[in-house]
Amino acid sequence: MSTAQAPARPAPTKKTNIYKGDPGMWSWVAHRISGVAIFFFLFVHVLDTALVTVSPETYNSIIDTYKNPIVGLMEIGLVALVLFHALNGLRIVAVDFWSKGAKYQRQMLWAILAIWVVVFAAAAARLLFLLFEHL
């Protein structure tokens, strides 16, 4: 077979790494981290609340340890996590169930981040006010 009759070879494909640092990838990572953190909070919350049936005195002492500014700041972080996880979850549902969701997923990501910043700023300001009001 001569070179004139040889079938054309496809152009070599460029091998790319699947994790490119794209905002969608970081959204995926943040969604998983926020979900695990919320799960951990709920686990601890159920355990310490269950103490009320075992030993009310122990329950009261545990609850008293939560009344400090560090735990208050952690509660503000919990609000941030829950708010992001909820908004990003709505974006994921839109991507999965809306026919144009995949096309607009990046714009929806920036929209939920903008909403998150506005709502969290208001919530954090209020929570910080309440936290330092009791000090």
In a domain, 7, yes or no: no
Closest CA to 115 of 77, 83, 89: 83
The model's pLDDT over 91-108, given as tens digits with 9 standing for 90+, comes to 999 999 999 988 998 999
Q: How far apart are CA 26 and CA 19, in angstroms?
A: 9
**pLDDT value for 85:** 97
Closest CA to 61 of 43, 76, 42, 48: 48
In a domain, 11, yes or no: no
For residues 110-135, one letter each, b for 16 or more C-beta atoms within 10 angstroms of the residue's C-beta and e for the rest, the string is: eebbeebeeebeeebeebeeebeeee
Residue 1 clears pLDDT 60, i.e. is over it: no
In a domain, 40, yes or no: yes
Cβ(127)–Cβ(76) under 8 Å?
Answer: yes
**pLDDT value for 101:** 84
In a domain, 31, yes or no: yes
Q: Give the model's confidence band at 32: pLDDT under 50 very low, under 70 low, under 90 confident, else very high.
A: very high
Q: Tell me the pTM.
A: 0.77
The model's pLDDT over 39-81, given as tens digits with 9 standing for 90+, comes to 999 999 999 999 999 999 999 999 999 888 888 889 899 999 9
Which domain covers residue 64, as residue numbers? 24-133
CATH (domain of 106): 1.20.1300
Segment 19-35 shows an average pLDDT of: 87
Q: Give the model's confidence band at 127: pLDDT under 50 very low, under 70 low, under 90 confident, else very high.
A: confident
**pLDDT value for 12:** 65
The number of domains in the chain is 1
Question: In whole angstroms, what separates CA 117 from the centre of its chain?
Answer: 13
- Return the amino acid letter for 49: T
